[in-house]
Structure 1
Amino acid sequence: MPLSHPHLVEIRHDLHRHPELGMQEARTKAFVAGYLRDLGLEVHEGAGVVGILRSGTGNRAIGLRADMDALPITEQSTHDYVSQNTGVMHACGHDGHTTMLLGAAADLAATRDFDGTVVFLFQPDEETGHGAKAMIDEGVLERFPVEEVYAIHNLPGAPLGQISTRPGLICSSESLFEITITGQGGHSSMPQVGVDAITVGAEMVQALQTIVSRKLAPGAGVVVSITEFLTNGQRNVLPGQAVLKGDVRARSPEDRAQVETFMRQITAGIAAAHGVTVEVSFVTEFVESMNATAPVEAVARVGTALGHDTIADRPPMSFSEDFGQFSAAVPGCFLLMGNGTEGAQGRPLHSDDYDFNDALLPLGAAFWAALVRDRLPTDKKG
C-alpha cells in the first residue's frame, strides 16, 4: 500500500538534513539500500544503489531513476529540517526525487500488481554529470537489462503536479572549455615590449560570441558563456598568461561539434594575429538528453489518467541532465513535474532558499507506481 504522506515527508526531511555531494553519498546510499532491503527488494550497491522488484512471470523490465546528490551551497532556509552539513544543500530537489521513488517501491512491493521487473536506479553525482556513466561503466544495464528507462525532475514555477515532457530533445548538452593564452608579461608602464594576455583574452571573449550570432543557424538554441577570466597579472604587472573558462549548451551533437571547431579556429586566429600561443580544452560533461516516442506517450497517458495537467510537447529545457547517458543507451523519457509557484517551492533550482514541495511527494510516488502498472500490465496488454 502507498506510504502515508507524513511518512514520505519524514523520509524527505531526513535526507534534506543530511545532504552529500556527488560520489560522497555514503549516508544516503546506506539509507536507500537499507530501506529497499526492508521492503524485500533485491539490492545491489556500487557507484549507486539498484533495487530489483519482480512480480508475475513476465520477462519485460523497465528502469526508474532518481538522483541522490546535493550541491555545494550554504542553505539560507529557516525551516526545521535545514541542512546540517555546512556548505552542502539539497538545492535541486534530489531529496524529493529519492523519496518519491522509495515511496513507489513501497507501494509496488506491497501490491505486486504488475507483471515483470522494475529496476530502481538510485544514481549518485548527477550534478557534475559523472554518476550515470559510473553506473553504466559498472555494467548496470548489462546486469539488469531494461527495455525503457524513466526519470522525474521537479520544476519550480510550474503548477504543483503539472507533468511536462516531449519526444526528442528534452535537455541540452553541457561542454566545459578552457582556453589558455600564453603571451609575454611585463611592466604595466611599457606594454609595447610584451604581449598583454588580458587584451588578447578580451578580444577572444567578444569573438566567441559570434559563434552563436553569426556561425550557427538562428534558433539553434546554443549558448556559449565565458564564466571565468583568470590571469597572473598584478597591480603593475601585465599578465603573460590568461585562462578563459566557460560553458557551452547545445541541442544536438552536430551543433556541439561545430562550436568546438569554431572555437578552435577563432582562438587560433586571434593568437596568430597577436603572436601568442593558445591551447583549448573542450570536454563534454553532459550529452543531450533524448526522449523516445513510446515512453513519452506512456507518461502522457498515465499523467492524464491520474488527473495531472499534462503537456506532452513542451519546449526543450536549456539545462543539462545526466539522465542523457541512460536514454542514449535505452529508450527513455525524462519528465518535469511542477513543484509549485509560491514561496521556497517556487524559487529557482540551485537557489540557497529553494525547497522541494512536500505536497508533491505522494503525487510523484503514485505516478511512478501507475507508470509501472501501465508498462508492465498483468493482462499482458500495453
Structure 2
Amino acid sequence: MVRDFAIALNLKPFQVIGSLMELNKVVSITSVIEEADARKVAEKHGYVLEIRHRGEGAQPVKKVEKNTDDDPALLALRPPVVCVLGHVDHGKTTLLDYFRKTNVVSGEAGGITQHIGAYSVKYQGEKPEYNGRTVTFLDTPGHAAFAKMRERGASVTDIAVLVVAADDGFMPQTEEALKFAQKHATAIVCAVNKVDAKGANIDRVKQQMQQRGITPEDWGGETITNAVSALKGTGMNELLESILLQAEILDLKANPKCAAQGVVIESQMETGRGPTATVIVQKGTLKAGDSFVCGETWCKVRALMDERGGRIQNSSPGTPALVLGWDAVPAPGTKFQTLKNDREARELAEEAALAGRKGS
C-alpha cells in the first residue's frame, strides 16, 4: 500500500504518489503498488528493494549511495529556457523573429504560428558581463486553438516573457497566458510591444499589470518590464538583458556530465528523415550515438541539428536540438533519459508500451 511503502522509505505519501504518476500510474494513498513499480520508485529515491513475500519475514529496505547528479560541485551555469506568451497578433513571433534574424512570420499559415519551435539566441549587446551568454526561446502559439500546445511549451520554462501590445492592453488570451506563466514559469518578464503604434498607452498596460498582481518594477513591484517595438528593434537588446538578469537571479545550473535527461517539445514524421523531435536537454549532455528511452518510444541518436538545420556534435543543459533516429514519433511533453545502450532503451520502451496497453 502507498501509505506503508512511504513509511518504509521514510518519505511522505505524496512523494511516492508523484513518483508513481511519473510512471503513468494513477494511485491514491490506499492503492496497492505493483512489485515492478515499487522497485523503480525505491531506486529513484536511493534505495534497493528486497521483496519478501508473505511468510518470508519483513521486507528490508537497504540504503544505497545517493545519486550524485545534483551535487553542487558538479553544477554549471546553463542558459535560461524562455517561453514567449501573449494574445494572438500582439507580436510574439515578430519578437522572436528579431532575435533570430530570420523571416519566420511570412512563411506561416494565416500569420499564426503552427508549431512550437525552440531557438538558441546569443547576446550581442554591449554589456560585457553577458558576452557569450545564450537564451533558449520556445515559440509557443498564441491562438486559442493551440491552448494545449502552449501549456505544454510552458512546462519546461524558467522565464516567461508575457507580450502585451501597448495599443490593445490585456486581452482574453493575455489573461490565459498569464495564468499559464504563473503556473509553469519560475519568473515573468513583461514586454510591452508596439510602443510606436497609434493609440499606444504604456501606463495603461502597467496599470493593468498592477491590477493582476504583477506590478512593474518602476511602479514599486517585482516584474521586470520593457517597452519594445519588435518590428523596429526598439528596446530589444534591453529585453534580452532583462532576461539574462532574471536568469542570474534564478541562478540556473545543471550537471553537464551526467546521463542526459530532457523533454520533447515537438515531434513530427518527416519525409526522408523519418520521426524527428525537438528536445530541450535539462541535465547531462546529449551526443550523437547516445541511446535513450522516452515514454513508449526509444531512440539511438543518428544526428543532432540546430534550428538552422546545421549538424551539432552535442546538446548541453538548457539548449535545444532536433533529434533524428527515433523508432516512432514520440509524444510531445514526454521526458527522455539516456541509457547504456539501444537494447536497454528498446526493452524499456516496449515495457512502457505494454503497460500502456494493459492500462487502457
TM-score range, shorter chain: under 0.3
TM-score, scaled relative to structure 1: 0.26
Q: Which is higher, the Rg of structure 1 or of structure 2?
A: 1
